[in-house]
Amino acid sequence: MLLTLAGGSLFFPGLFALCTWALRRSRPEWTYSDCVMISTRLVSSVQAVLATGSGIIIVRSCSDVINSRYNLKKGFQDFQGPYTIFSFYAFNLSTYHKVKPQASDSYNPGSLRSIKLKLLHYSISLSLHGLSLLPFSMAPVRIFLLRLRGNLGDFFVGCIFTAELSTPFVSLGRILIQLKQQHTLLYKVNGILTLATFLSCRILLFPFMYWSYGQQQGLSLLQVPFHIPFFCNVANAFLIAPQIYWFYLLCRKAVRLFDTPQAK
């Protein structure tokens, strides 16, 4: 466990530093802010690819959705744990560099106050998000949660890992916006892929898990919610509710993208 945690602690910050250095060398016309924000997106995409790949392997290897165990799950959780701490730092850093130029170029006290409030809002939001996820990156808490579920359900943990499939496409969209490439065909194709992967791996994932459990227990999809513990349904509802809202926002953005002509 300690060796895996150390590997994750070195891998994600090291990859971020390497990407930032490489972008500064290969694109000297880009600002440090551009390099930091793109590097943050690249590292989050790499983490998403690793999580998705691990999730697919775990799901395919678990013949029993309740009792099957797979060692890759625990190893990847230990390796991924430091990423939570790193992402908390990296996204705060990229947000700071995003808002800082607006503050330095603004001479209107009212506008400057608005920018400072925006920076404070971003910092508080990211801090609360990071603090809420931080306990799950700590080994003692994860061991407690593992024992709480009785060392069962590696199949469902693997399913949750695959929810990261949409992250690389979301990150690519952000990078294209930063590079002023919203008018390109790549941006539109990436938008379609973002919607497809988000729908399949963040929303339809939950009916798939219910269906998989029902297939093993001889239940229909509609019968499953009444044959599992109530807190499981509540937890899934809390997880899927923000996904539906974010998917709604993505659909609104896609409608605007394809309905309004793009400026050159």
Confidence of residue 263 (pLDDT cuts 50, 70, 90): very low
Higher pLDDT, 253 or 91: 253
- Can you tell me the mean pLDDT for 235-240? 86
Q: What is the mean pLDDT of the chain?
A: 77
- List, for residues 146-187, the tens digit of each pLDDT value: 444 556 678 888 888 888 899 999 999 988 988 888 888 899
Question: So what's the pLDDT on residue 161?
Answer: 86
Confidence of residue 124 (pLDDT cuts 50, 70, 90): low
Question: So what's the pLDDT on residue 197?
Answer: 93
Higher pLDDT, 263 or 236: 236
Here the tokens at position 84 are 């939570």
Question: So what's the pLDDT on residue 49?
Answer: 92
Q: Which of 27-31, 70-74, 99-103, 199-203 ranks highest by mean pLDDT?
A: 199-203
> 3-state secondary structure string, the chain?
CHHHHHHHHHHHHHHHHHHHHHHHHHCCCCCHHHHHHHHHHHHHHHHHHHHHHHHHHHHHHCCCCCCCCCHHHHHHHHHHHHHHHHHHHHHHHHHHHHHHHHHHHCCCHHHHHHHHHHHHHHHHHHHHHHHHHHHHHCHHHHHHHHHHCCCCCHHHHHHHHHHHHHHHHHHHHHHHHHCCCCCCHHHHHHHHHHHHHHHHHHHCHHHHHHHHHHHHHCCCCCCHHHCCCHHHHHHHHHHHHHHHHHHHHHHHHHHHHHHCCCCC
Query: Which of 154, 172, 186 lies closest to 67 in space, CA to CA?
Result: 154
Distance from C-alpha of 30 to C-alpha of 79, rounded to nearest angstrom:
32
Question: So what's the pLDDT on residue 113?
Answer: 59
- Can you tell me the mean pLDDT for 63-87? 76
Q: Which of 84-93, 191-200, 228-237 ranks highest by mean pLDDT?
A: 191-200
The single residue listed with the structure tokens 């943050």 is: 40
- Can you tell me the mean pLDDT for 42-57? 90
Query: Which of 210, 240, 241 lies closest to 227 in space, CA to CA?
Result: 210
